[in-house]
Structure 1
Amino acid sequence: MSATARFALPLLHPGQAQKELFHNEALTLADALIQPCVEDAGLNAPPSAPAPGQCWIVGESPGGAWAGEAGSIASWTAGGWRFSAPREGMSAWIASEGVAARYMSGAWHAGRVTATRLEIDGEQVVGPREAAIDDPDGGTVVDLEARAAIEAVLDALRAHGLIDPG
């Protein structure tokens, strides 16, 4: 085995000459991949004046020095571009947008949070979407103001995706 299984970091071999080159290459890639922060996502052409240590998430139709690297994390180093293929569940911070991106099902998804519930101080505040709730209808005494308030609450819950629009 000449590289690690997940991110293809180069491994050293007994008796290998110039081990420092392989060690430094592994450190360079680890520097880009541990808690990654990218300048931007979705670019298809490399920036004209990158600084060492800057990274980008390559777009879907890359060209030039990024050709063939769609979806990869492109890192600029003193030795040129280094590309790392993302792994399922990997996250990166997109500095230009101020949001996190997660690699899921073969694509990057920026600004999306996926969870089964949201808790604050141990209390669930949002859980799975509940079934649709019908608008008020019928009754022997119709209070138009109360009915309008209930409909407004239901509309807001539907708009936020908390209950099924039905």
Structure 2
Amino acid sequence: MTDQTARFALPLIDPGQSQKEMTHNEALALMDAALQPSVRAVGMTIPPTTPAAGDQWIVGPSPSGDWVGQGNAIAAWTSGGWRFVAAVEGMLAWSTADALPVRFSHGNWVLGDVAAARVMVAGLPVIGARRAAIVAPSGGSVIDNETRNAIAAILAAMVGHGLIAAS
């Protein structure tokens, strides 16, 4: 068994290979861990002592014990022991401990950040790229403090949410 898939290193069956079911079953176990992963925690470095079949974790960068050499991989406990799926750029998982998505980006797992060009609700864009700052009102012949305070609060909220830059 020398051939593997390019992205997840799933084992391929060699022509004329005996015990093909072992290679096939190993590939299925790894696919089970890699497809739509839902992990119990992110960044663990010590394997849990009593994992249940199907439990998964994202391994921290410098693990110990049975996880040595598997930094940043997804560790999945199976009836046959630990299986590891190496992280690839853009890989997504769900962290049940944090109730947040986690994405592998530039060699690290990033928890909770969602990268998007815009956010759509019911087919309508509700948040897009950040726009330029809006200058706060000043001067004028009639001063309306309530209106100015309301506009200032709206601008502060938009800056606070990152929708516009601070002026």
Task: Give your verdict on TM over 0.5.
Answer: yes
Unmatched tracts of structure 2, length 5 or more: none
Match for 2:22: what amino acid?
L
Cα RMSD after superposing both structures: 1.1
| In 2, Cα distance between equivalents of 1:124 and 1:34 | 29
Match for 2:115: what amino acid?
T
Q: Percent identity?
A: 51
Q: Specify the SS of the correspondent of 1:162.
A: coil
Q: Specify the SS of the correspondent of 2:135.
A: coil
Match for 2:100: what amino acid?
V
TM-score normalised according to structure 1 size: 0.95
| In 1, Cα distance between equivalents of 2:133 and 2:61 | 38
Give the deviation of 1:61 after TM superposition. 2.2
Q: For residues 3-25 of structure 1, what are the alpha-carbon distances to aligned partners after superposition, in whole Å with 9 as ceiling and x for unaligned?
A: 11111111101111111111110
Q: Which residue of structure 2 lines up, in the alignment, with residue 144 of structure 1?
A: 145
Q: Which residue of structure 1 lines up, in the alignment, with residue 132 of structure 2?
A: 131
TM superposition outliers: structure 1 runs of 4+ over 4 Å: none
Give the deviation of 1:99 after TM superposition. 1.3
| In 1, Cα distance between equivalents of 2:54 and 2:17 | 27
Unmatched tracts of structure 1, length 5 or more: none
**1:45 matches 2:7:** no
| In 1, Cα distance between equivalents of 2:104 and 2:63 | 18
Superposed, 1:82-121 pairs within 5 Å as 82-121=83-122
Match for 2:57: what amino acid?
W
**1:7 matches 2:12:** no
Count of residues in Structure 1 that have an aligned counterpart in Structure 2? 166
TM-score normalised according to structure 2 size: 0.95
